[in-house]
Amino acid sequence: MKTFTKPLALSLALSAALATPAWADSAAFTVLTLEQAPTADTMPALAAQLKTLQVDAVSVRQVQRGIGQVDPLQLLADGLGYQYRFIAAGKDDGQTQQGQAVLTRLPIAAESGPDQPGLNYLRLDDGRHAVAVYTDAGAGAAQLPALVSRSRLGAPAVLLGAVAGESAKAAGFDPARVALEADASYFSDGFQAASSAPFKVEGSTLRATLLTLAYAADKGGEQPWMDTTLTADARAALLLKAMTEDEKFQMLHSYFGLGKDGGKLPEGAVGSAGFVPGVARLGIPSQQSADAGVGVTNPGGIRPGDFATAMPSGPSTASTWNRGVAFAGGATMGREAWQQRFNILLSGSVNLQRDPRNGRNFEYAGEDPLLAGSMVGAVIQGVQSQHVISSMKHFALNDMETRRNFHDVRIGEQAMHESDLLAFEIALEAGRPGVAMCSYNKINGTYGCENGYLMNQVLKQEWKFPGFVMSDWGGVHSGSKAALAGLDQQSAGEVFDAAVFFDEPLRLAVHGGVVPQARLNDMVARILRTMFLHGNFDNPPQHQKVDAEAGFAVAQRTVEEGSVLLRNEGSLLPLADSAKRIVIIGGHADKGVIGGGGSSMVGVTAKGTNAVPGVLPTTWPGPVIFHPSSPLESLRAARPDATITYVDGTNAAAAAKAAAQADVAIVFATQWAAESVDLPDMQLPDNQDALISAVAKANPKTVLVLETNGPVRTPWLAQVPAVLQAWYPGIRGGEGIAALLTGQANPSGRLPVTWVVDESQLPRPHIDGLGFKPAKPFGDVFDFDIEGANVGYKWMAAKGLTPTFAFGHGLSYTSFAYENLKVSVEGSRLVASVDIRNTGKRAGADVAQLYLKLPAGSTTPIRLIGYDKVELQPGEQRRIRIEAEPKTLAHYDAQARQWKIDGGTYQVQLSRNASEPLQTVDVQLVEQVLR
Ligand code: BGC
């Protein structure tokens, strides 16, 4: 296909506003570019003009957004029902942020992540054509070529904003610059023709240009679906027409990618959780899906030679409160998946932590819907930036593992929308996962994978999810019922379900008219469009060597930002230079760091496999794994001047004796948790409480490092001056922990969960049937209506309970002060600004947490509504902006199926953690429905 960028015809430049060339009909992409933001008095006229004009996008340059103000362009977008993006040009001056705004009426199919400051990519979907829109506010020009090559995938593209011709050329844009005036420049490529004309904004002298970019003619040919200028949906529709019924059904169920009963792998499977053979005749690639959320697994080393980065566990990533870190982790996993021939990664675990005993908390992202949703959304975005489809799972309310295939979760509609479903909804908006994996459990009496309310009504209708729903492995109980409820693909049914329901049984149902042909086509189209969108056809995975060092760097950054310093009495940490005799005790800290069990376990890394084989259980959901990253060795490397010894901790008296002879004792305590089984209680196993107490008694300078699934009871807390929660820290756990203990890194993790004192503070203090050998069987019902949407800190606030450590808690080796909290509210948009200063002597990062205290009588007392992590040098001060997520200001009206803000007086709190407000401002919210 010949593509070119046509220089502007002089006659067009001089023609009247709104004049467009003859070819500019719906076969063109139109952009109104404004050289500056309109003034307030121009706004209403512009809004009216835009309503008539119906341009696809509006690009506004040289925007100066008040740091504590709602951008009027955001309100313009809200009024028009457009989406709004602000691309900051660089560092702000503390009063305003400079940048570019893009408003669009088209759906955004994909966009760049938080790793590209000053640069943004939006993949817009105009119904028939895809358009890759790049903005450049200057700072990110050098990264433009990499961003374009990673994201464009053959779509017609336009680059809006000032950028040097060289950068544009390097990114593949036609160097023939199209310029009406110097600063109205843009580059386009892949369109048939391009034109621009001045545009008159009513009542204003604002310089504006209307760009009209004509799409090239369809490619046609034998495989018209390989035309990369078309949208994923258009391509899927073309391909669907060419498919036989057999080929369609082939898409609807995967095989267990590890083979049945240890037998041969399905032909073409590379060895992983799932495999759907492709269709060579039509060029449809196979679907190879691998677990999961903490790295690419290689179960039993089935793919000899493959290894991956074992990332820190989900709560560790969540504890960073840094979307950039989450994105980098996701991008690392996505890249490594692609290099191991996978086009689907079963990541994106966002079930809320309702109970510290849930065996799978280490895969999730804590208890708060905003934090979990936004962080997991960033992980998903990172995975998908690498042409690998990510799932989000387990949809929904699979918040406990005990009898997960049988239990029923009871919860009201409003409560589920304001808790678990909100986490999914935010993850969906932020990450746009291609797949949703329905869960094993029943929700209000109906299995997740047969739940029409959740899959059809909520996910596909209310949230407009365009991707496909895949079942969890062993989660399908029917053919037509599941298909009609919204399930699109059955996973590994030949191994895990009673039948391959989505083969013969579903064929019969389609032939008999029980399942309409249209639904069959919808199922296939959803799968194909997802594969097209994420480059499975155009940029298929290639087997390549994984860059181990790059993975290690991201894993270590996550541990360093995600470990939480819970307690540090007398500033025992960082370790003083005078501590020359250090004893390390327990936790196999001489060999490695523990990881969680089950399908997510990354057993094969660049540094080898299990450092401590033989710890029970050695079979599913084990083996218990210790990643080969020894804290002892890392500490020795970090402190060559000290004598560092190791005692295994199996004998408390011997450990205490060694501690008494040391300057500092560091105890490592571990708690293993795994998929498919819950922890029996919150107690550290294997008498580790006694070990910790004995050591602390022998040496008052005792540091405790916890490697746990989540909060545990802390009976020894008063005796132990310093406690670091390292979660499951992954393949760079040893190095990361050593950096934090010695002060090479300054802790900045904040708890994504409430650290309750013990089980008595939980909504369900006692549950029969937990653990491997329960005394009594479980009753198969979880009544989540007890707490409803008041999960974690909301429950504590509602009940007036005081935890050991609050949600959001975490210490630093420096200190921070906040002043001048200001809050502005316009409609459903709430923006806060506040000064933050590093008042200590070390560089460090703090997490500014914004909560909303709801009026008395509200069902939920308090909510996290926004956050920002800020890194500051000693003495440095900055004014920061925090935007609230509008849904966190609202409640879900289950009758109307709408989010509504109640009018009234609310208190906005800038807090150190959920129970420690530092600055407060009262605001009035006006009653309204969110769009
Ligand atoms: C887990 C999923 C996982 C799947 C495939 C299931 O048991 O619940 O999270 O992706 O197995 O291994």
Rounded to the nearest whole angstrom, what is the distance from the C-alpha of residue 768 to the centroid of ligand 1?
A: 25
Q: What is the pLDDT of residues 501-560, one digit of tens each?
A: 999 999 999 999 999 999 999 999 999 999 999 999 999 999 999 999 999 999 999 999
Mutate which of 275, 291, 392 for ligand 1 pocket (most atoms within 8 A of beta carbon): 291
Rounded to the nearest whole angstrom, what is the distance from the C-alpha of residue 92 to the centroid of ligand 1?
A: 44
Which atom of ligand 1 is least distant from the CA of 492?
5
Rounded to the nearest whole angstrom, what is the distance from the C-alpha of residue 551 to the centroid of ligand 1?
A: 23
Q: What is the pLDDT of residues 329-371, one digit of tens each?
A: 999 999 999 999 999 999 999 999 999 999 999 999 999 999 9
Nearest residue to 403 via CA among 769, 710, 682: 769
Phi first, then psi: give them for residue 908, nearest 5 degrees.
-95, 130
Rounded to the nearest whole angstrom, what is the distance from the C-alpha of residue 17 to the centroid of ligand 1?
A: 57
Contact 349, 318 (CB under 8 A): no
Examine the pLDDT at 144 and tell me if it is beyond 80.
Answer: yes
Banded model confidence at residue 114, pLDDT cuts 50, 70, 90: confident
Tokens of 181: 């005036």
Residue nearest atom 7 of ligand 1, based on CA coordinates: 473
User: Position of tokens 């849904």?
Assistant: 887
Phi first, then psi: give them for residue 497, nearest 5 degrees.
-110, 170
Residue 522: CA count within 13 A, CB half-sphere: 17
| pLDDT score recorded for residue 177 | 52
Cα–Cα distance for residue pair 571/375, rounded to 1 Å = 31
Cα–Cα distance for residue pair 322/557, rounded to 1 Å = 11
Q: What is the pLDDT of residues 93-102, one digit of tens each?
A: 889 999 999 9
Residue nearest atom 3 of ligand 1, based on CA coordinates: 599
| pLDDT score recorded for residue 22 | 41
Tokens of 352: 């809320």
Ligand 1 pocket (Cβ < 6 Å) reads 273, 291-292, 346, 393-394, 472-473, 599
Q: What is the pLDDT of residues 401-442, one digit of tens each?
A: 999 999 999 999 999 999 999 999 999 999 999 999 999 999
Rounded to the nearest whole angstrom, what is the distance from the C-alpha of residue 600 to the centroid of ligand 1?
A: 8
Nearest residue to 472 via CA among 456, 455, 453: 455
DSSP code string of 95-135: SEEEEEEEEESSPEEEE--TT-TTEEEEEEE-SSBEEEEEE
Rounded to the nearest whole angstrom, what is the distance from the C-alpha of residue 599 to the centroid of ligand 1?
A: 6
Cα–Cα distance for residue pair 364/32, rounded to 1 Å = 42
Cα–Cα distance for residue pair 697/693, rounded to 1 Å = 6
Rounded to the nearest whole angstrom, what is the distance from the C-alpha of residue 440 to the centroid of ligand 1?
A: 10
Percent of all residues in the chain with a pLDDT value above 90, rounded to a whole number: 89
Rounded to the nearest whole angstrom, what is the distance from the C-alpha of residue 472 to the centroid of ligand 1?
A: 6
268: left (phi over 0), alpha (psi -120 to 50) or beta: left
Examine the pLDDT at 750 and tell me if it is beyond 80.
Answer: yes
Average pLDDT over residues 625-648: 98
Cβ burial, residue 856 (10 Å; 0-12/13-18/19+): exposed
Contact 733, 316 (CB under 8 A): no
Rounded to the nearest whole angstrom, what is the distance from the C-alpha of residue 399 to the centroid of ligand 1?
A: 14
| pLDDT score recorded for residue 175 | 58
Cα–Cα distance for residue pair 370/374, rounded to 1 Å = 6
E strands, 396-540, are 408-410, 435-438, 442-443, 446-447, 468-471
Sign of torsion over alpha carbons 784, 785, 788, 793: negative
Residue nearest atom 6 of ligand 1, based on CA coordinates: 473
The SS3 assignment for 202 reads coil
Report which secondary-structure segment, H or E, holds 87: strand 83-88
Average pLDDT over residues 739-756: 98
Contact 587, 649 (CB under 8 A): yes
Cα–Cα distance for residue pair 120/85, rounded to 1 Å = 9
Q: Which residues make beta-bridge pairs with 696?
A: none
Cα–Cα distance for residue pair 540/531, rounded to 1 Å = 10
Examine the pLDDT at 13 and tell me if it is beyond 60.
Answer: no
For strand 928-929 and strand 898-901, is the pairing parallel, antiparallel, or unpaired? Answer: antiparallel
Banded model confidence at residue 17, pLDDT cuts 50, 70, 90: very low
Rounded to the nearest whole angstrom, what is the distance from the C-alpha of residue 303 to the centroid of ligand 1?
A: 19
Mutate which of 404, 472, 476, 491 for ligand 1 pocket (most atoms within 8 A of beta carbon): 472
| pLDDT score recorded for residue 167 | 78
- Taking each continuous run of H as one helix and of E as one strand, the counts in the chain are 23, 40
Average pLDDT over residues 721-727: 99
Kindly report the pTM of this predicted structure: 0.96
Q: Which residues make beta-bridge pairs with 516?
A: none
Which atom of ligand 1 is least distant from the CA of 398?
8
Q: What is the pLDDT of residues 880-919, one digit of tens each?
A: 999 999 999 999 999 999 999 999 999 999 999 999 999 9
Encoded amino acid at 442, one letter: K
Banded model confidence at residue 12, pLDDT cuts 50, 70, 90: very low
- 128 C-beta neighbours (distance < 10 Å), count: 15
Banded model confidence at residue 294, pLDDT cuts 50, 70, 90: very high
| pLDDT score recorded for residue 139 | 67
Rounded to the nearest whole angstrom, what is the distance from the C-alpha of residue 404 to the centroid of ligand 1?
A: 12
Which atom of ligand 1 is least distant from the CA of 393?
9
Examine the pLDDT at 444 and tell me if it is beyond 80.
Answer: yes
Mutate which of 333, 435, 599 for ligand 1 pocket (most atoms within 8 A of beta carbon): 599
For strand 57-66 and strand 255-256, is the pairing parallel, antiparallel, or unpaired? Answer: unpaired
Mutate which of 346, 360, 400, 470 for ligand 1 pocket (most atoms within 8 A of beta carbon): 346
Which atom of ligand 1 is least distant from the CA of 274?
5
| pLDDT score recorded for residue 184 | 52
Residue nearest atom 4 of ligand 1, based on CA coordinates: 473
Rounded to the nearest whole angstrom, what is the distance from the C-alpha of residue 347 to the centroid of ligand 1?
A: 10
Rounded to the nearest whole angstrom, what is the distance from the C-alpha of residue 490 to the centroid of ligand 1?
A: 13
- The three-state DSSP-derived secondary structure of 882-928 is EECCHHHHCEEECCCCEEEECCEEEEEEEECCCCCEEEEEEEEECCE
Residue nearest atom 8 of ligand 1, based on CA coordinates: 472
Which atom of ligand 1 is least distant from the CA of 404?
8
Mean residue pLDDT of the chain comes to: 94
Mutate which of 675, 676, 677, 678 for ligand 1 pocket (most atoms within 8 A of beta carbon): 675
Contact 15, 200 (CB under 8 A): no
Tokens of 879: 């004014």
Rounded to the nearest whole angstrom, what is the distance from the C-alpha of residue 2 to the centroid of ligand 1?
A: 46
Report which secondary-structure segment, H or E, holds 643: strand 643-647
Residue nearest atom 5 of ligand 1, based on CA coordinates: 273
Residue nearest atom 11 of ligand 1, based on CA coordinates: 473
Cβ burial, residue 446 (10 Å; 0-12/13-18/19+): middle
| pLDDT score recorded for residue 279 | 98
